[in-house]
A and B are shown apart, each in its own frame.
Chain A
């Protein structure tokens, strides 16, 4: 279980996160939505320790995650970056097996990487390609394979469908959903794509002006006034 208590983060005088509290249960899939620049990615980076929060705490299984303890926990986390963030100098399988190769020889790491690649729909013919040779959708799949390569207990997805056409986006959403269900991993997804929320999420949270503006199950979001703009509905009373 991941818990966040009173998270604050400012850049200069601008408060991006102004006291966020949330809890994500084991095996739950939470989607965090919000307009661009509302602090969604900063929230994710604070959880992962890529940004240091000004105040507040991130806890995992009741234990605080800080600079000292985070490296030990990181092995239990997986992350799919917005642009996949594959390492340009490594082939696809080497990217997928990046963490595995640090503790086992290549002849053992490669079959595991190929298995994870197959799980996300990448055949063995792509194993030795370089990231620059992949399409956007394939790069996302490779990034997803890397995120799940070490069987993480928590997977973070940062804008998983950005830059993809609707067909590829739907495939990635379905893939994420099936992986999360199959592995029982906790998932936290940052997105502004409501199709992703419907496909991936159990619960949704709206971030606005650095605060939690709405929270509830995905099934309840259709009638929620604060989400009207995201759902393509005309917000009541605004013509």
Chain B
């Protein structure tokens, strides 16, 4: 085997795959007519509302644990009083979007891939075509837009709950006064911290729905095919979120 040829072939395959996914995303995002409002509303509920408990609980425990960690670590260099500010900045810039995105990936990418994959293997997608309905418009477009719009909202709610988690720990066990904790949180928080986190949420939401739809539409035959599609969707969404987070953090804060 010629290593140059192998590398070239692998690079071409990668570029082909990236191009195919990009075209799929563009077709999914911009094939809006006819717009299936009912399907979109159902996805807003499925992806947004039903993800709220898991995102909220994740943020609550993360904020609380972060407060304990910063207090314990900060005490080594007499900086324990920075707990509220670091919890707030850490949650809105990084942990809220990333952990929220990962929890949505686990819940939503798997669900979308399994649902669309099952529809594919049971000929429901073929049935859509025979009923004069474009599967991209019916299945993919509502999911992409619903995730794009609801995940930033989930991240925003998660940010607030995460800061509340830190406040609970700070006021109950670390000796902060309630007013002092809140004032300290706000004092160092900038609007760009919040906006950047919400923008990350939108990108992560798109990645989650895109992975679910892409792998679902390409599910192989039978239960094993659906299982593989589901696993691939979750792994790709999680890795995609972490990679995108690195790139976006570099863009936003360098």
Residues of A in contact with B (beta carbons under 8 Å apart): 45, 48-50, 71, 74-75, 77-79, 81-83, 85-89, 98-99, 102, 146, 156
Alpha-carbon distance A89/B142, docked complex (angstroms): 15
Report the minimum CB–CB distance from A200 to chain B (whole Å). 19
* Among B123-131, B146-154, B213-221, the stretch in contact with A: B123-131
The number of chain B residues touching the other chain, given as a range, is 10 to 19
Contacts of A50 in B (CB 8 A): 126, 129-130
CA distance A50 to B131 in the complex (A): 12
Does B118 reach chain A (CB closer than 8 Å)?
A: yes
Is B132 at the interface (CB under 8 A from chain A)?
Answer: yes
Q: With A88-B118, A102-B34 as known contacts, state yes or no: A45 contacts B126, CB within 8 Å.
A: yes
Instruction: Give A82 to B127 CA distance when docked, in angstroms.
Output: 11
Contact B130 A74 (CB under 8 A): yes
Taken residue by residue from 116 to 138, chain B's Cβ proximity to chain A (1 for < 8 Å, 0 otherwise) reads as 00110011101101111100000
In the complex, which of the residues B115, B123, B124, B132 contacts A74, with contact meaning CB atoms closer than 8 Å? Answer: B132
The main secondary structure of chain A at its interface with chain B is loop
CB distance from B220 to the nearest CB of A (A): 14
Q: Does more than half of chain B's interface fall in helix, strand or loop, or is it mixed?
A: helix
Give the CA-CA distance A82 to B126 in the complex, in Å. Answer: 12
Q: Which residues of B contact A48 (CB under 8 A)?
A: 126, 129-130
Contacts of A74 in B (CB 8 A): 129-132
CB atoms of B123 and A77 under 8 A apart: no
B130 lies within 8 A of A102 (CB): no
- Report the Cα distance A193→B122, complex, angstroms: 21
Taking CB atoms, residues of chain A closer than 8 Å to B131 are 74, 98-99, 146
Judging by beta carbons under 8 Å apart, are A81 and B132 in contact? no
- CB contacts (< 8 Å) of B119 on chain A: these are 87-88
A156 and B130 CA atoms in complex are apart in Å by 10
User: For the complex, what is the distance from the CA of A223 to the CA of B216, rounded to whole Å?
Assistant: 48
Decide: B126 and A83 in contact? CB cutoff 8 A. Answer: no
- Decide: A79 near B133, CB < 8 A? Known: A88-B118, A102-B34: no
Closest beta carbon of chain A to B170's beta carbon, Å: 44
A75 cross-chain contacts in B, Cβ below 8 A: 132
Question: Is A85 touching B133 in the complex (CB atoms < 8 A)?
Answer: no
When chains A and B are docked, how far (Å) is the Cα of A102 from the Cα of B42?
16
5 contacts between A and B (CB under 8 A): A48-B126, A74-B130, A85-B124, A88-B118, A88-B119
Residues of A within 8 A of B129 (CB): 48-50, 74
Cβ distance B60 to chain A, nearest Cβ, rounded Å: 31
Q: Are A85 and B132 in contact (CB under 8 A)?
A: no
CA gap between A111 and B119 in the complex, in Å: 27
Asked if residues A79 and B130 are in contact (CB atoms below 8 Å), the reply is yes
